[in-house]
């Protein structure tokens, strides 16, 4: 999506006056600012558009319920950071990769990064539980895989704009590991259910280049979601939970 196409979508879906007000004035947590802030920070227009649609979908549902005398029952999936199917999907992807390439050896300086999308520090300071949820996922996955101490590390990616974001930043960690001569780095992105620019380009291209240019050895991006059996099982588990008693 081009920037001009973003604005065309705003005008078409929300109407020019209302849509441009949303884009200029509405704070969107997923972007850490407004749509205009994100576009000015060179975030991909498609990512900004998706975040706007997600935000408006939740807001409009809430407005409808508040205005209705005959309110429907509404269920949303809050999070599933430690759900059995989700942890199993991540573990299976890593085990399948390691069957081919072998497990990374922390004694040899090899490392595994679990890279999640970052959020602004202000959101974390205000009480957002996101970081603790990411930490819970890492803890459960390490237990499931029986990983030795020192192998797995939690990092945060896709930082943009001048505001402070939670860290450590994936790109900084990757660069430092490269400079210290890390012979092998495996990276998985548990927070991205399907591959996108932030995994295929940011991780598998930019971070790979950063690591190897700094002096690192082999770089392995490990996909886990998309149409894998584990990803589908995770969605089925969430659907069954939220639909319980309805069907």
Q: What is the pLDDT of residues 86-145, one digit of tens each?
A: 999 999 999 999 999 999 999 999 999 999 999 888 878 888 889 999 999 999 999 999
240 within 8 A of 232, measured Cβ to Cβ = no
Q: Could you tell me the pLDDT band of residue 224, with boundaries at 50, 70 and 90?
A: very high
- Taking each helix axis from N to C terminus, what angle separates 16-25 and 45-67, rounded to the nearest 10 degrees? 110
What integer pLDDT is reported at residue 230 of this predicted model? 97
Task: Tell me the C-alpha distance between 243 and 233, whole Å.
Answer: 15
What integer pLDDT is reported at residue 60 of this predicted model? 67
What integer pLDDT is reported at residue 58 of this predicted model? 61
89 within 8 A of 231, measured Cβ to Cβ = yes
Extract the tokens encoding 181: 């001569």
**Predicted confidence (pLDDT) at residue 223 exceeds the cutoff of 90:** yes
Residues in a beta bridge with 70: none
- Of the two residues 242 and 64, the one the predictor is more confident about is 242
192 within 8 A of 199, measured Cβ to Cβ = yes
25 within 8 A of 10, measured Cβ to Cβ = no
What integer pLDDT is reported at residue 62 of this predicted model? 64
Sheet of strand 152-157, all strands in order from the earlier edge strand to the far edge: 152-157, 111-117, 184-188, 218-221
At 101, phi and psi to the nearest 5? Answer: -105, -5
Angle at 246 between CA 243 and CA 247, to 5 degrees: 85
Q: What is the pLDDT of residues 163-213, one digit of tens each?
A: 788 999 999 999 999 999 999 999 999 999 999 889 999 999 999 999 999
């Amino acid at each position: 999506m081009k920037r001009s196409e973003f604005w065309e979508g705003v005008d078409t879906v929300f109407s020019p006056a209302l849509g441009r007000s949303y884009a200029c004035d509405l704070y969107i947590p997923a972007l850490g600012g407004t749509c205009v802030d994100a576009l000015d920070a060179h975030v991909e227009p498609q990512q900004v558009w998706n975040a706007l649609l997600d935000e408006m979908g939740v807001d409009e549902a809430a407005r409808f319920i508040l205005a209705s005398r005959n309110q429907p029952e509404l269920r949303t999936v809050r999070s599933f950071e430690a759900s059995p199917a989700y942890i199993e999907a991540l573990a299976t992807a890593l085990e399948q990769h390691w069957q081919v390439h072998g497990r990374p050896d922390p004694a040899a300086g090899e490392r595994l990064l679990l890279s999640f999308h970052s959020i602004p520090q202000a959101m974390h300071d205000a009480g957002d539980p996101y970081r603790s949820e990411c930490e819970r996922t890492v803890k459960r996955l390490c237990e499931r895989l029986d990983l030795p101490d020192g192998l797995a590390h939690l990092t945060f990616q896709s930082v943009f704009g001048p505001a402070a974001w939670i860290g450590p930043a994936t790109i900084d960690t990757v660069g430092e590991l490269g400079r210290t001569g890390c012979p092998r780095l495996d990276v998985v992105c548990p927070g991205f259910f399907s591959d996108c620019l932030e995994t295929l380009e940011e991780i598998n291209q930019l971070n790979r280049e950063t690591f190897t240019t700094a002096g690192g050895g082999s770089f392995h991006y490990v996909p886990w979601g998309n149409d894998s059996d584990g990803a589908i099982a995770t969605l089925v588990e969430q659907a069954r939970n939220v639909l319980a008693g309805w069907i």
